[in-house]
Structure 1
Amino acid sequence: MSEFDFDVAVLGGGSGGYAAGRTAAGAGLKTVVIEGGKEVGGLCILRGCMPTKALLYAADVIHLARHAGTWGVQAPQVGFDFEQVMARKNAMVKDFADGRVQQLTSGRFKFIRATARFTDTHTVGLSTGDTLTARYFIISTGSVVSEPPLPSLRNVGYLTSDEALRLAGPPKSLIVLGGGAVGVEFAQFFARFDTQVTLIQRSPHILRDFDTDAAAELEKVFRREGMTVVTDTRLLDAGRDGGLKVVSFERDGKTETASADEILFALGRTPNTAHLHLEKAGVETDRGRIVTNERMQTSAQHIYAAGDCTGPHEIVHIAIQQGEIAAHNIAHLDRPRSIDYRLLTHVVFTDPQIGLVGLTEKQAKAKSVPCLAASYRFNDHGKSLIMDAKDGFVKLLANPATGEIIGGCCVGPMGGELIHEIIAAMARRMTVHELAVMPHYHPTLAEIWTYPAEELADQIKLQASVSDNRTGGV
């Protein structure tokens, strides 16, 4: 009889947890997945990727309909039924969640609905009153909305991203606190459903982890669509003025205020680990985030972690990859795999969309990585002109010695789709020379990548020629 109830216990049944459980069970390990949420599905399905993108697509449709005259199409009195927009989103979320429930209850592993917390290094107590033991654990409990730093904001009241997804109608006016992906996506969604939006960002520009040129392009579009964008601020206080909620902030040494019917707090999420009693299992954390090595192993050698609870990137495909690697390494101790963030990808589903893979110019400079960069704008590209999608650009970063592509950014139409060409190129370690001569159909959006590739190939060729001349061709 085994010393433990299970070979592997996975805490959390979201995307990372399901990937871990499926992989562990597929390797022949006796596995249990324990899900403590009120609903089953995880953040991506229930309150993240899927519902927000369903809403954003509706916003894109109404925006396109309102500008149909550009193509000579008459679409008078374009309106919307917000209740129907939300109902469609809810129906889609239910379908996705039902699918996840079927996966979790398929019988390939045991599935338990309960919250779990460690009582010792190999034991967890469940909210049902039961306990179970496992030889290995994979923690994938996700994240929760962060608490606002201002007590006064809590007193005034605010919307979280979860609550924004449940609104019966768009507010007349809205202050969005935070200019990350969540903040900018909700800002444009509500603006396109006739909400007067003010976006307030702490950093010098929105999307602080992106290059300035990408952020500036989106800020330009936001302002053109009637939004107010305020950057490089410090929140001071929140209060009320009549029926409106008011936020005061410091900018350029001066105190300013903004008021609206509602406030959306979009300043990040916190690892969902406080309830786990990780200290009893010997698991090290950093401000709640579970610390792991490149094999997804924690400070306790038999405990692994994956997804938002460990980071450093709160992205669903990363959570899935981490969960699979953690389970693989438990099943195959003799041939471990490591997580590789070289192909780290981000997509922001605004209009224009932003897709990013690999290094940014900012990151390359900070890491002292030599690179050349070239870009090409959509307002000089055939297919995007046909679509009247003139905002944005594509940019490539390359190793100046070899021409290998080390980063790419697309701000423009279908940016989230177009970036995948560069992901594939980087996965095969292609050079700009190879990308430049790769056939692309005309007219397509994708062929725009050949222009910065050609420019970089010419730059590298010129540098090599100059170097040869200086050395006498030796």
Structure 2
Amino acid sequence: MANSHDIVIIGGGSAGYAAARTAADRGAQVAIVDQGPLGGLCILRGCMPTKTILRTAEIAALMRRVKEFGLSPVDVTAHLEQIVDRKDRLVREFADYRIEQLRDPRYKLYQGAASFLSPNRVRIGSQEVEAKAFVIATGSVPNDISVPGLHETGYLTSDTLLDLRDRPASMVVLGGGPVALEFGQFFARIGTAVTIIQRSPHLLSHLDPDVGSALEQALREEGIVLYTGTALQRVERSGSNKRVTFHHEGREVHADGALILQALGRRPRIDGLALDKAGVAVINGRVAVDDTMRTSQPHIFAAGDVTNLYDIVHIAVQQGELAGFNALQSEGALRSFDSRLVTDVTFTEPQVATVGLSEMACRAGGIPHLAASYPFADHGKAMCRGDRHGFVKLVASPAGGKLLGAQIVGPEAGELIHELIAVMYYHGTVADLLRMPHYHPTLAEIITYPAETLAERIGLP
């Protein structure tokens, strides 16, 4: 006999737990299936451990600049094993709290891998479980990229690099996205010689080129070797090192390192789910969903990285809440995901934060827009802090000045972006940004400068 529940959530990470909590709050009998380790990607291998180690690198980098601020120079030596120990302690605390939540009596927790037997039944080990509705929230795993010699030579991913306890003398990073850049800068700041190889013409290729260029300048000044617009050719051993060969600007180039970090993206974790038996469509390796998070099977929903829409935790939570709500709804009463306020932060230094539409997205979608930017190098508070890299850019509608999006490259960008999220949430304009008081001197007042430029160009009072 199969155990029966109102809804089964497959995956206990950020999206899965949000779906389970939402469904339980609505009175459903909820089961959670997680093959472990319990805690979810964000806590165990993503946001929390990476931001913990990045804080150490930020402090080290600032200490090396003390002479600039009139202080006596200090010798900064990083001890990777101690950095990892601190990271592990914090992750354990975060994970223990999540595990306590998953084991709440409101839920039935099954620890094991789920595999669909039919659209209404899954197998978990020796048990069978059936439900009226399902939410798939199994997350993602590192991409398996085909580069000749890469597997034979050996590499690390963001999942395995976090456990490294001996600082490598050198490292080659494949990729120019957030994961590649955060790890690359971290290791460079603790004394590793880092080379970053990006296939696209600029870093953070999903954003406007000027964003990637500003960050590239800052990383180069820290001593990181950067190549953009490359084509990977092969990987092989070179003495005690590993060698990556690639084409760059019409010639063959190679980079050597003690380690290779393969940071060329992640893919949905769907292996073993037997989604074909559930009648769930998979498109280009991802679980296909509509804006209600419903899959091709009406009673099965999906949320988070497994949909491959956004690899961002707060969005996974939003999607999980939607999926948990909609899975219990009758037809015609479903809520939809609003992508208007999609926000992303890369925790390099300078940080990169974006919300809404970029210039690139507006051009691709044929959306009328105006943009204006202002550099931190000419902003008083940033100059006092010694933060000269980056800019704030606003994108607005030419008709009325409604704020469509924003990009910030600079100090505390991840915090500053929230003012712009709030204004956009209420469908505000660049004129609203000017009417709001901004304390002087603060980093936040830089937002008013591009807002003023746009207001003048649009003709707003």
Tell me the distance in 2 between the aligned counterparts of 1:76 and 1:58: 16
Q: Is the 8 A contact 1:4 1:135 kept in 2?
A: no
Paired AA for residue 101 in structure 2: Q
Residue by residue, what CA displacement relative to the aligned partner does 1:119-177 show, whole Å, maximum 9, x if unpaired? 011000012x0001000000000001111212410000011111110111221010000
Using the alignment, how far apart are the partners of 1:75 and 1:422 within structure 2?
Answer: 38
Aligned equivalents of 2:149, 2:436: Cα separation in 1:
57
Report the Cα offset of residue 111 of structure 1: 1.2
Q: TM-score, normalised by structure 1?
A: 0.95
Tell me which residue corresponds to 2:365.
367
For 1:331 and 1:282, locate their aligned partners in 2 and report how far apart those are by CA, in whole Å: 19
Residue of structure 2 in register with 1:391 after alignment:
389
- Counterpart of 2:323 in structure 1 is 326
Instruction: Give the distance between the partners of 1:82 and 1:307, measured in 2 at CA.
Output: 32
Structure 1 position 437, deviation (Å): 1.6
Q: Which residue of 1 aligns with 2:353?
A: 355
3-state DSSP of counterpart to 1:331? coil
**Following the alignment from structure 2 to structure 1, what is the Cα–Cα distance between the partners of residues 252 and 79?**
39
Amino acid at match of 1:434: D
The two structures have a TM-score, normalised by structure 2, of 0.98
Does residue 215 in structure 1 map to residue 234 in structure 2? no
Distance 1:270 1:252 in 2: 30
Letter in 2 for 1:190: F
Instruction: Give 1:318's aligned amino acid.
Output: I
Aligned match of 1:95: 93
What CA deviation, in whole Å up to 9, does each residue of 1:424-452 have, x standing for no partner?
11001100011112101111111111111
1:371–1:398 contact (8 Å) kept in structure 2? yes
Q: Aligned ranges for residues 178-257 of structure 1 at < 5 Å?
A: 178-257=175-254
1:120 and 2:123 matched = no
Determine the structure 1 residue equivalent to 2:131.
Answer: 134
Q: 2:167 aligns with which of 167, 170, 186?
A: 170
The alignment partner of 2:314 has SS state of: helix
CA contact (8 A) 1:271 1:310 kept: yes
How much has 1:75 moved relative to structure 2?
4.3
Q: How big is the shift at 1:206?
A: 1.0
Q: Note the alpha carbon deviations across 1:399-440, whole angstroms, 9 max, x for none.
A: 000110000011000011101111111001100011112101
Determine helix, strand or coil for the equivalent of 1:298: coil
How far is 1:235 from its partner? 0.7
**1:193-215: per-residue Cα shift (whole Å, max 9, x none)?**
11111100000011001111110
8 Å Cα contact 1:436/1:450 also seen in 2: yes
**Alignment RMSD, CA only?**
1.4
Equivalents in 2 of 1:393, 1:300: separation in Å? Answer: 45
Match of 1:44 among 18, 30, 42: 42
- The residue aligned with 1:149 is 146
Instruction: Please give the secondary structure, in 1, of the residue aligned with 2:341.
Output: coil
Unaligned runs of 5+ in 2: none
| Contact 2:304-2:311 at 8 Å conserved across structures | yes
**Residue identity matched to 2:35:** G
CA drift at 1:114 = 1.1
Matching of residues 68-107 of structure 1 within 5 Å: 68-107=66-105
8 A Cα contact 1:396 1:408, kept in partner: yes
Matched to 1:8, the amino acid is I
User: Partners in 2 of 1:370 and 1:188 — Cα distance?
Assistant: 37
Identity %: 47
Residue in structure 2 matching 1:449, options 418, 426, 447: 447
- Give 1:69 shift: 1.7
